[in-house]
Structure 1
């Protein structure tokens, strides 16, 4: 099975005979060149994924799936939390450094600008320019503008528009 190798002329150490050493070497060589077992270590499924099916979507890592409005609100809350932390840390450092600062005065000095900035940000977000109304008529036109009567009552309001 294997080609003959030349015999060593030096004595084999460890007390093994030359014949035993050669048989051990052949066994090691045979084990080294033995073919690997045919056991798969990985599998790749090449079948195409269907475009639709009954399997529900799997949540991905990161932010949970939500609407654009909820995403905007969560970003706004995170930014507000970071801002509050920075302002509170600054107030704490000022009170600690002065050793006699009044906490109520610091709350007013540091809290009022924060509330003002947040209120202005909400107003700026809601503010939209009034739409331009361009009406072009040709021929005789009868135009009426009705203002409907609206009744709103209670904490949770229900609007009933009546002509």
Structure 2
């Protein structure tokens, strides 16, 4: 029925029929997929039945799979952080030697890491020098000896050349 060319109003039964037709048309799925699979092949007289190929109709976009994996990782990480915070707060709640150690333990860990990094940097910066000299070697064994004596004081000067 084309509503643009209707010259008279619809009766109640016609309107109900038309409404049902429009709703049924709007609610009709575009493609129908079976929700179950029934294997109609014969069962062998003994032993296991052979596997039957079942097509997988699910479509998951790559971004959806990536978001799912990332959310699992974030959830696991947050759970670990929460458990660590709970343990630290449990340690802080008890004012014992263990509680005090629990408070100072992160600072000691940071100091240990800083010391290790400083030692590694210092060791990396210190260079090993091996001086290898090449060329002629001259050995002078002349000793120039001058002595001045005047009065009570004397001075001796040795020059090796």
Higher strand share: 2
TM-score range for the pair, normalised by the shorter chain length: under 0.3
TM-score in terms of structure 2 length = 0.26
